[in-house]
Amino acid sequence: MTKSSRILLLLGSVSVFAAGCHTDMWVQPKYHHPYSETTLFTDGNSSRPTPDGTVAYGKPKTDEALYTGRTGGKLVTEIPAEIEIDGEKVNTRKDLRKILNWGQERFNAICSHCHGELGDGKGMIAQRGLALKRPPGNYHTDRLRKMPIGHFFDVMTNGYGIMYAQAPRTTVGDRWAIAAYIRALQMSQYMDQSKLTAEEKNEWDVAEKTQREANRELNKPQL
Ligand code: HEC
């Protein structure tokens, strides 16, 4: 064994030894939860009372629908009337265009590499990148088309299956705007033809025929 490998072996065993035993604050009596019972203080409480004039950090999250996408445990079917995006309060009923633009920008930036810009689950990562255990969800299934909008907020907030939560990289407002945009994506890829008037149905047929002809032209072999 060379001198340097002996030194390496020695260093290695010292670090394993050092990491293996905790003689520090790791092993010490402590209160793991605030407001635990104790005999240490005369009031029997492990937490000290807050001094007068203490200012709360953040704000209480009392609006259940806004922060969880549920009311009384049930998924909400509409986005909240007001959300904050880019530091500004926006009325979602009056300014839907603004919400959708914001949702589109955020979706393309942080979801599309997996889910694809159409939300069909065919993003670059799914096609060529990481070998994912399960493919990213395709939003254009009957199940997800019928899902209350609160589900999308919930999936982003808490994660879903193998998908990690998106809350650390989004604000509450971002997540509602993205949920609204997912609905727009779903509508862009699916139309219930029975809801069309005769005139709209006619327009639809003409558009479809034009599209078919254009595709045929595009797919002609180039000689
Ligand atoms: C790193 C890749 C990745 C990113 C980024 C990602 N997702 Fe996903 N997503 C997945 C995968 C994988 C699944 C399927 C999870 C499973 O079935 O276990 C999924 C599933 C979903 C579903 C389907 C849930 C259901 O009920 O089937 C929704 C909705 C969704 N993601 C929304 C989003 C949104 C919105 C974003 C961005 C804010 C996002 N995801 C970002 C990989 C990703």
Tell me: the pLDDT tens digits for 180-204?
999 999 999 998 888 889 999 999 8
The predicted model gives 35-63 an average pLDDT of: 90
Distances (CA, A) of 146 to 40, 121, 155, 180: 56, 18, 15, 14
Taking only the tens place, the pLDDT of each residue in 125-143 is 888 876 777 889 999 999 9
Residue 60 pLDDT: 82
Q: Is the CB of residue 83 less than 8 Å from the CB of residue 172?
A: yes
Residue nearest to atom 21 of ligand 1 (CA): 137
- Among 115, 127, 145, 158, residue to substitute to test ligand 1 (most atoms within 8 Å of Cβ): 115
**Percent of the chain surpassing pLDDT 90:** 65
Q: Quickly list DSSP for 77-90.
A: SS--SEEEETTEEE
Closest CA to 98 of 174, 185, 190, 155: 174
Least trusted range by pLDDT, from 7-21, 104-118, 150-164: 7-21
Q: With 60 as the cut, is the pLDDT of residue 14 above it?
A: no
Homologous superfamily (CATH) of 64-71+88-190 is Cytochrome c-like domain (1.10.760.10)
The predicted model gives 216-222 an average pLDDT of: 82
Residue 89 β-bridge partners: 84
Q: Measured in angstroms, how far is the CA atom of residue 136 from the centroid of ligand 1?
A: 5
Residue 59 pLDDT: 79
Residue nearest to atom 39 of ligand 1 (CA): 111
pLDDT band at 18 (very low <50, low <70, confident <90, very high): low
Burial profile 91-124: b = 16 or more Cβ within 10 angstroms, e = fewer: ebeeeeebbbebbbebbeebbbebbbebbbbbbe
Q: With 60 as the cut, is the pLDDT of residue 29 above it?
A: yes
C-alpha span between 161 and 119 (Å, rounded): 17
pLDDT band at 42 (very low <50, low <70, confident <90, very high): very high
Q: Is the CB of residue 220 less than 8 Å from the CB of residue 213?
A: no
**CA 21 from centroid of its chain's CA atoms:** 39
Q: With 80 as the cut, is the pLDDT of residue 211 above it?
A: yes
Residue 7 pLDDT: 61
Residue 211 exposure: Cα atoms within 13 Å on the Cβ side: 6
